[in-house]
Structure 1
């Protein structure tokens, strides 16, 4: 089941870098008990990582864990971050970003998440289109292409 947890965590991406937290080395530890208690500790590369980015990664890791068949309980703990207490308590309570940073945050992170998703899609599209253009595919041909 530990491999299932790591596979699920590989779908969690750093919103700014658009890379999996597993590839980036952000998973400090991962344990799963025989009765389905999953515990993950995350450590980001900087103590002052933006709290909204950190919250997204911790919340996404929690969501990835609870979606795994056989995981009965999930705990995700962010270590060594200036806002780890607020983030850990908020994610554990499923309170959302605004409630976790009461008086400091004015909006949930859906718009930010959508912005980073758009950025990732555009970057991926660019990676696909540049070699095609270099190979002589015209813009009109690009528009007509579909994934197969």
Structure 2
């Protein structure tokens, strides 16, 4: 579900609420951070993450997109450190050999995986395929007897 988040117009952030199979909720932020924006998008997330999670009743957070984080490394690292987030993209995502497209989250290792898909169209970025694995909570099995009445023989 797309969320309407009040923020400065120049920020290129889109927010979504996702539900897992076991009904946990995830706040997803898709971001494009052009070089001229400086740390503004990361500072917005840093200053508003707790209230956004609370306001939208989300348990977890994922942020992905073209962040060009190498240009705002200090702000990016503070966000990761202070919120206990991990960047799961550990491969180059740009033709230059840099990793410019992180997938950061508070989800534990083993729940989220990322892999490169290759260049798409005329883009100089590699597409990142991200999988979130959630466990299915199953009901406890119940023993029962199923009577097949239509197979019974009528008494004569």
TM-score, reference length from structure 1: 0.39
Question: More strand by proportion, 1 or 2?
Answer: 2
Which structure's residues are more often helix, by fraction? 1
Provide the TM-score with structure 2 as the length reference.
Answer: 0.37
Structure with bigger gyration radius: 2
